[in-house]
Structure 1
Amino acid sequence: MTNTRAENPLRDPRDRRLQRIAGPSSLVIFGVTGDLSRKKLLPAVYDLANRGLLPTGFALVGFARRDWEDQDFAQLAHDAIKEYSRTPFREEVWAQLAEGIRFVPGEFDDPEAFEQLRTTIEELDAVRGTNGNHAFYLSVPPKFFAVVCEQLASTGLAASTDDQWRRVVVEKPFGHDLASAQALNATVEQVFPADSVFRIDHYLGKETVQNMLALRFANQLWEPIWNSNYVDHVQITMAEDIGIGGRAGYYDGIGAARDVIQNHLLQLLALTAMEEPVSFSARDLRAEKEKILSAVRLPKDLSASTARGQYSSGWQGGTKVVGYLEEDGIDPASTTETYAAVRLDIDTRRWAGVPFYLRAGKRLGRRVTEIAIVFKRAPHLPFESTATEELGQNALVIRVQPDEGVTIRFGSKVPGTQMEVRDVTMDFGYGHAFTEASPEAYERLILDVLLGEPPLFPRHEEVELSWKILDPIEKYWATLGQPEQYGPGTWGPASADALMAAEGRHWRRP
């Protein structure tokens, strides 16, 4: 009998049926009491265990400045998992995971704490069968990266052998400019080989971002028109409808461009614009992304091709909200932007003359991340001008979040006795097309770390190329003083609209 059940064509082919299961190993999380660990990392580890993708002897070690015992950390993990995990909580899965939970208290500059960590890891090798394979997740501010790596090196914890691996996972930000990124990369790679360094950009773990590769290279439909002959421009948007919350200590002095454009949006640009790789190995994917990032050209007039702003106080969603300068912990004279928009060009044969517009901001109209490929208008319309008054440009929109999917906008005849053409949309949504729930980005990325599979992790070359793009913009903005104000619930400052209007274009309203 033929099996007619449709398989998910986007499922990783190395899933559980093909033994895409992590081998004996442990995950050591530094800064395990922080929000990232509680809300993302610990639930992702549990969800992997619940899906049967971790070995039975897997171990989880927390390291933080708390006077805790193993059971205290286990309770934190238990509570975080029950609140934030994607898959249902099952006592038998938790019980098995809890047996491998350990906690090491200490400061990052305390050699004795790292000696205790080494002893703990050796005990796990003997009791849990982790076989000397350990990943160290630095869920800590970048200023602690160097000291943690040096401690791992001095205690011998960073050294891999032919049959035992050690890996380090680094969270963004990867520096605050090119010079700091180069110094950070040099520090980390003095301790761990380049192939053992995994820089996390959680956007690259999202199903829709990975689907960009399937959309482009598994279909004949798009690639012939994925070029300057047919594409008018590209818009890449990451909008949030919230303010900075309690992140003043991190956000002030960083801003929207460093926080989002330098990493997330330039990675999305690279995936959108790159040529077809020879294979989907890490080496070949990175090579194509690096070619694109090295071909990005900044406009000569940054005043006309960039925009920045700060959200002001006002009403949003029926609630009175404070402005950025009134947020707790923010300097009233801060010049940090909460909105950033830039126009970039790519000097390649495929994209010559096609502008890429990137924007990111807080307190905008709604939460959405999308890539919009906007096509040129048809060269000739054999209709009366009144028949196409409401007809816009064709567009392909890849929605990264929150409603993951793809939308195609095209012209269609309005029902009736006369010819009237109007825009309509054709929509594909993950939630409707597939019965399987999409895994969280951190599930995929943590599993890839444990498997040693780095295609979704940018190397230091990509990070440095991204800073080379952003640094001149930041240097120019530093000469301007206070950013332009924009109201909460709007789509940014007037200068962002002027940036587009100067070229006869406008931002999409997602």
Structure 2
Amino acid sequence: MTSQSSVKTLLILGASGDLTGRLLLPGLARLAAKGRAGGLKLVGAGSDPWTPEQWLERVSTSFADSLGQADPAGKLELERIARSTDYHQLDVTAGGELGALLKQLEGPVAVYFALPPQVSQKACEVLTPEEVPPGTRLVMEKPFGSSEATARELNNTLVGLVPEDHIHRVDHFLGKATVLNILGLRFANTFLEPVWNRNYIEKVEVIFEEDLALEGRARYYDGAGALRDMIQSHLLQIMALMAIEPPATVGERDLRDAVSTVLRASSIKPPFSTTSRRARYTAGSISGRDIPDYVQEQGVDASRNTETLAEVRVEIDNWRWQGVPFILRSGKAMGIKRKEAVITFRPVPHLPAGFTGVDSPNQLRIGFGPDTLQFDVDVNGPGNILSLDRATLNAVLSASDLLPYGEVLEGVLTGDPLLSVRGDAAEDCWRIVDPVLRSWSNGELPLEEYDAGTTGPASWPGSP
């Protein structure tokens, strides 16, 4: 491992873009207001010819909520960052420009590529190792590459510039509190670990269904779709955490080794007509909002056949999970907002005669953002003591006091890559979905439709 030291300067490339204003700067503001960005210098850079006043207005606007809630020390820190920040116009894909800026900044520097993936890759390709000061950290947004081959190519480019432990492949979907909540649930309870295997678990579902539609993101989303956007990155990472063997520690080395071991054993097996499904929303209504047909959204190319709802069945070929399907599903413009993992246990082998009612398989539900826990069990009564009824045990799990991007930035600033996807894992995630994507692009699976505001196509069986 390379020795780590705290970042002195955060350089955001794409500073005038939507990601910076909507997510990055508010995340940084909450982090700084909590006193966890000590002495950081913020620098913005982009292709737009912004004046210092325009950049300061963006920073001030993004900091406003945290400033209003901060204690006196937090307010002073936020004001210090805003007072000292500056903006540089540059073309990151032009040789020498980014390197020249890096040499002007106090190091160590964290370079956050808040840019389209192809621009980020070009920017890294034109950088030379000599232009990257020691200690520099490179922060890459998803998608990391567009296939296993391109992810490997990008990995090779990055490790030619900085060591692997100075590369942060961002997964803001999976916060630190969520990671530790999953690990604590699994490995701190002796009643769970003995049944956390193929002998007792029938299936595991990881579901991210949102009630938001395209929301003006056609430029990115129409070239990606649900499988690339969510399942390839975020949901496979959650699946791996649900399936890992007990690590020795929760340090990044042990944990990320365990995650990579699971991903290497994972695959989506053909025929993909039975192990994958895809659909696209049509016009509908969500909570009183009229949602247009996806293909009528501005910037959408209907000929791409981009899916807005995808589901795959992943198999993990190892001793613990052989034969247990891991169902990963993500969709937009859904009628019910769901972000959870559902573990369905096998039914009891025999129910003593005399009981009435329905004996349903036990389910454990782990909700994400906010993190919750629900355990469905069958109990006697109420009323007839011989009648089985379903009861749910509920708990609220620990939550972070930071915004998701604040958690990401804290890991970057302190050199903790726990929430970053390691290079080999990024390649394996693409290896898992690449065959499905090829099959879909060849038209081997029909693109179904569902009305916005529903739970998906009528032909898809409902989930519990």
Superposition TM-score, scaled by structure 1 size: 0.84
**Residues paired across the two proteins, number:** 458
1:333 shift after superposition: 3.0
Structure 1 residue aligned with 2:395: 428
Q: Partner of 2:232: helix, strand, or coil?
A: helix
Q: Partner of 1:333: helix, strand, or coil?
A: helix
2:37 and 2:413 in contact (8 A); partners too: no
Q: Does 1:470 align with 2:445?
A: no
1:486 shift after superposition: 0.8
1:169 shift after superposition: 0.3
Structure 2 residue aligned with 1:49: 32
Q: Partner of 2:255: helix, strand, or coil?
A: helix
Structure 1 residue aligned with 2:375: 408
Q: Which of 446, 452, 456 is the matching residue for 1:488?
A: 452
Q: Which of 381, 388, 393 is the matching residue for 2:357?
A: 388
Q: Which of 86, 99, 119 is the matching residue for 2:83?
A: 99
1:383 shift after superposition: 4.4
Alpha-carbon distance between aligned partners in 2 of 1:264 and 1:42, rounded to the nearest angstrom: 22
**Compared with structure 1, are the counterparts of its residues 354 and 429 closer, same or farther at alpha carbon in structure 2 (3 Å cutoff)?**
same
Alpha-carbon distance between aligned partners in 2 of 1:384 and 1:306, rounded to the nearest angstrom: 41
Q: Partner of 2:319: helix, strand, or coil?
A: coil
2:209 and 2:336 in contact (8 A); partners too: yes
| Counterpart residue type for residue 72 of structure 1 | Q
2:67 and 2:75 in contact (8 A); partners too: no
Moved more, 61-70 or 321-330: 61-70
Alpha-carbon distance between aligned partners in 2 of 1:85 and 1:364, rounded to the nearest angstrom: 35
**Compared with structure 1, are the counterparts of its residues 198 and 85 closer, same or farther at alpha carbon in structure 2 (3 Å cutoff)?**
farther
Q: Does 1:79 align with 2:61?
A: yes
2:247 and 2:254 in contact (8 A); partners too: yes
Structure 1 residue aligned with 2:291: 321
1:388 shift after superposition: 2.1
| Counterpart residue type for residue 404 of structure 1 | D
Alignment of 1:339-354 (within 5 A): 339-354=309-324
Alignment of 1:110-129 (within 5 A): 110=94, 113-114=97-98, 117-118=101-102, 120-121=104-105, 125=106
Structure 1 residue aligned with 2:258: 288
Structure 2 residue aligned with 1:145: 120
Residue by residue over 1:464-510, the C-alpha shift from the partner in whole angstroms, topping out at 9 and shown as x without a partner, is 1111110111111112275111111222224532xxxxxxxx522xx
**Compared with structure 1, are the counterparts of its residues 349 and 24 closer, same or farther at alpha carbon in structure 2 (3 Å cutoff)?**
closer
Alpha-carbon distance between aligned partners in 1 of 2:460 and 2:424, rounded to the nearest angstrom: 30
Residue by residue over 1:67-117, the C-alpha shift from the partner in whole angstroms, topping out at 9 and shown as x without a partner, is 234343222111012157895486423222223312111222345743662
| Counterpart residue type for residue 44 of structure 2 | G
Identity, in percent, stands at 34
Alpha-carbon distance between aligned partners in 2 of 1:245 and 1:84, rounded to the nearest angstrom: 25
| Counterpart residue type for residue 469 of structure 1 | I
Alpha-carbon distance between aligned partners in 2 of 1:331 and 1:82, rounded to the nearest angstrom: 37
**Compared with structure 1, are the counterparts of its residues 456 and 309 closer, same or farther at alpha carbon in structure 2 (3 Å cutoff)?**
same
**Compared with structure 1, are the counterparts of its residues 318 and 109 closer, same or farther at alpha carbon in structure 2 (3 Å cutoff)?**
closer
**Compared with structure 1, are the counterparts of its residues 439 and 86 closer, same or farther at alpha carbon in structure 2 (3 Å cutoff)?**
farther
Structure 1 residue aligned with 2:412: 449
**Compared with structure 1, are the counterparts of its residues 99 and 150 closer, same or farther at alpha carbon in structure 2 (3 Å cutoff)?**
farther
| Counterpart residue type for residue 133 of structure 2 | A
Structure 2 residue aligned with 1:243: 213
1:66 shift after superposition: 2.6
1:178 shift after superposition: 1.3
1:288 shift after superposition: 1.2
1:227 shift after superposition: 0.6
Structure 1 residue aligned with 2:228: 258
Alpha-carbon distance between aligned partners in 1 of 2:334 and 2:449, rounded to the nearest angstrom: 12
1:22 and 1:447 in contact (8 A); partners too: no
Structure 2 residue aligned with 1:37: 20
Structure 2 residue aligned with 1:333: 303
Residue by residue over 1:12-37, the C-alpha shift from the partner in whole angstroms, topping out at 9 and shown as x without a partner, is xxxxxxxxx98461110000122221
Alpha-carbon distance between aligned partners in 1 of 2:313 and 2:98, rounded to the nearest angstrom: 47
Instruction: Give the gaps of 5 or more residues in structure 2.
Output: none
Alpha-carbon distance between aligned partners in 1 of 2:69 and 2:127, rounded to the nearest angstrom: 34
Q: Partner of 1:212: helix, strand, or coil?
A: helix
Q: Which of 263, 271, 278 is the matching residue for 2:248?
A: 278
Alpha-carbon distance between aligned partners in 2 of 1:232 and 1:305, rounded to the nearest angstrom: 16
**Compared with structure 1, are the counterparts of its residues 116 and 468 closer, same or farther at alpha carbon in structure 2 (3 Å cutoff)?**
closer
Alpha-carbon distance between aligned partners in 2 of 1:438 and 1:411, rounded to the nearest angstrom: 35
Alpha-carbon distance between aligned partners in 2 of 1:316 and 1:365, rounded to the nearest angstrom: 6
| Counterpart residue type for residue 483 of structure 1 | L
Alpha-carbon distance between aligned partners in 2 of 1:71 and 1:320, rounded to the nearest angstrom: 38
**Compared with structure 1, are the counterparts of its residues 240 and 206 closer, same or farther at alpha carbon in structure 2 (3 Å cutoff)?**
farther
Alpha-carbon distance between aligned partners in 2 of 1:168 and 1:115, rounded to the nearest angstrom: 13
Moved more, 316-325 or 357-366: 316-325
1:300 shift after superposition: 3.0
Alpha-carbon distance between aligned partners in 2 of 1:270 and 1:352, rounded to the nearest angstrom: 14
Q: Partner of 1:99: helix, strand, or coil?
A: helix
Structure 2 residue aligned with 1:7: none
1:225 shift after superposition: 0.9
**Compared with structure 1, are the counterparts of its residues 22 and 460 closer, same or farther at alpha carbon in structure 2 (3 Å cutoff)?**
closer
Where relative contact order (Cα < 8 A, 6+ residues apart) is larger, the structure is: 2
Structure 2 residue aligned with 1:367: 337
Alpha-carbon distance between aligned partners in 2 of 1:324 and 1:243, rounded to the nearest angstrom: 8
| Counterpart residue type for residue 162 of structure 2 | F
Q: Which of 137, 150, 157 is the matching residue for 1:180?
A: 150
Residue by residue over 1:319-362, the C-alpha shift from the partner in whole angstroms, topping out at 9 and shown as x without a partner, is 32211111111123331111100112111111112111111111
Alpha-carbon distance between aligned partners in 1 of 2:44 and 2:26, rounded to the nearest angstrom: 14
| Counterpart residue type for residue 491 of structure 1 | T
| Counterpart residue type for residue 90 of structure 2 | G
Alpha-carbon distance between aligned partners in 2 of 1:458 and 1:443, rounded to the nearest angstrom: 17
Q: Partner of 1:409: helix, strand, or coil?
A: strand
**Compared with structure 1, are the counterparts of its residues 334 and 84 closer, same or farther at alpha carbon in structure 2 (3 Å cutoff)?**
farther
Alpha-carbon distance between aligned partners in 2 of 1:38 and 1:269, rounded to the nearest angstrom: 31
Please give the root-mean-square deviation of Cα atoms over the aligned residues, in Å: 2.3
| Counterpart residue type for residue 439 of structure 1 | L
1:184 shift after superposition: 1.7
